Structure 1
Amino acid sequence: MKVGIVGLGYRLGYLARIFQASLPDFQVVGYVDPEPAGLSYTKQFDVPVGNAYETLTELLENEALDLLMVGSPNHLHLGHIRIGLDHGVKVFSEKPVVTTVEETMQLARLIGQYGSDNVMVGLVLRYAPLYVDLRKAQADGLLGDIVSIEASEHIAPYHGAFFMRDWRRYEKYSGSFMLEKCCHDLDLYNGVIGARPARVASFGGRKSFIPQNAPEGLGINDVEVYHRKPSGWMGTDKVFDSDADIIDFQTAIVEYANGVSMTFHTNLNVPDEFRRFCVIGAKGMAEGDFVRNFFKVHDARTSAKLIDTTYSGSELSVHYGADEQMARDIGEHMVHGAPLPVSVVNALEAGLLAITMDEARRTKSVVDMADIWKRFDTALADGGS
Structure 2
Amino acid sequence: MDIPGELLLSKVQALSDLELACLLCLIADQHFIVEASATALNHVEQELKLISTGIFGLSCSTLECHKQTTVDDFGNGLLETESSDSYFTASKESTRLDLHLSANKARSPGRRSVRSPMSPPESRQIANLVILKNLDQAPHQVQVQTLELIRGRRIFTRTTVHVAPKPFLLIALLPEDHIGSMNRHLIDHFFISHRHGPADELPNLEELGERSPTLSSMSTKKIEPKQSVFSREDLETLSQLESSVRMSSDVRCYVHNIVVFLRMHRAVSSGITAAATRHVNVLSRALAPLHGLNYVTPSLVSLAARKIYTHRIVLTTPEGDRSIQWGSSIDAVRELLDGVTARDVIDEILETVEVPL
- TM-score tier (shorter): under 0.3
* TM-score, scaled to structure 1: 0.26
Structure 1 or 2, whichever has the larger Rg, is 2
Name the structure with the higher strand share: 1
* TM-score, scaled to structure 2: 0.28
Name the structure with the higher helix share: 2
- Structure with bigger RCO (C-alpha 8 Å, 6+ apart): 2
